[in-house]
Amino acid sequence: MDRKRLITAVLLLCMTMFAAVADDDVATQVNIPYEMFRLDNGLTVIVHTDRSTPTVFVGMWYGVGSKDEPEGKTGFAHLFEHLMFQGTENREGEYFSPFTDAGATGMNGTTSEDRTNYFATVPTGALDMALWMESDRMSYLLGAVTQEALDEQRGVVQNEKRQGENRPYAKMSDRMRAGLYPVDHPYRHSIIGSMEDLDNASLDDVHEWFNTYYGASNVVLVLAGDVDVETAREKVTHYFSEAPSGVPLVHPKKWIPDLTENRKESMYDRVGQMRIARVWALPGLNNRDTTLMYLVN
């Protein structure tokens, strides 16, 4: 996902999060004002001002996901997401603790095929703390990632995988990916990866992943809420201007699966209820045809 597509995806998500629909006419005319600027190190910042509550949403979108995992390293993007919530060279303890103490809500992170994001909604007075915490782990994470920390989070992710695979219909997702995407397609493997690949993840892999994908030039920072662009520029420059830019990235080209005929597959599980899934190969998140397909469904 290149910078333009990442920014577009972030804006679409922000519109979904902050749009208040009053009637049918408004529903087709969502327009959320925002301003955007970029630091010298490449960090892109989107600011949406909303003074309705004394809170600010702080979101970091890194342009890396499971599609970037090489063969034998499946699940690593998600595993690394977990490591980002540990300590850094400048602080010990869980990442969530200062946010909880400040009264923040919604602290979490997620991984998809195309991006990894981290977010929280903080009281306006805690914005400096949140920005420092994000800039700190962007620049000073690796010195605190020990073998013990890696093993701990590896166990958490593998347990998460076991829980998912023990649910009804759990194997459907893997079967659909295998039927939809050709061999070597970056979306063919699951985001959580294989047990074997997770077992083999090493500290060297952690360093390589961080140094390659977690530079400032591969990030979109979103500030939405009780903050104006002038304040945002001042604070973001203060906390992030010295963050390393990172490695210039070459992103993969679009690879839309070419399915020449309909396929039908059946699976059986110990569940007393039938489940039917219909899957199409679509041209991408920001394509108009994809949007129309989601609306139809």
How much is the pLDDT for 23?
A: 46
Percent of the chain, pLDDT > 70?
A: 90
Q: Beta partners for 123?
A: 55
Three-state secondary structure call for residue 22: coil
29-71 tens-digit pLDDT: 668 899 999 999 999 999 999 999 999 999 999 999 999 999 9
Q: Provide the residue ranges of all domains of the chain, joining segments of one domain with +.
A: 3-261
> How do residues 106-161 score in pLDDT, each as one tens digit?
999 999 999 999 999 999 999 999 999 999 999 999 999 999 999 999 999 999 99
User: In a 3-state reduction of DSSP, which class is residue 268?
Assistant: coil
Provide the greatest CA pair distance for the chain.
58
Tell the residue number behind the tokens 């396929």, with chain if given: 263
Mean of the per-residue pLDDT values for the chain?
89
* DSSP-based three-state secondary structure for 207: helix
Helical pair 76-83 and 147-165, crossing angle rounded to 10 deg: 120
Does the pLDDT of residue 77 top 60, yes or no? yes
10-18 average pLDDT score = 49
Among 3.30.365.10, 3.30.830.10, 3.90.1150.10, 3.30.420.40, what is the CATH number of 3-261?
3.30.830.10
User: Over the stretch 167-191, which tens digit does the pLDDT of each residue have?
Assistant: 999 989 999 999 999 999 999 999 9
For residue 76, pLDDT over 80 is answered with: yes
Confidence grade of residue 281 (pLDDT, cut at 50, 70, 90):
confident
Strand 55-62 to 116-123 pairing: antiparallel
Is residue 25 over pLDDT 60? no
Higher pLDDT residue, 263 or 124? 124
What per-residue confidence (pLDDT) applies to 248? 86
- Across 254-267, average pLDDT: 88
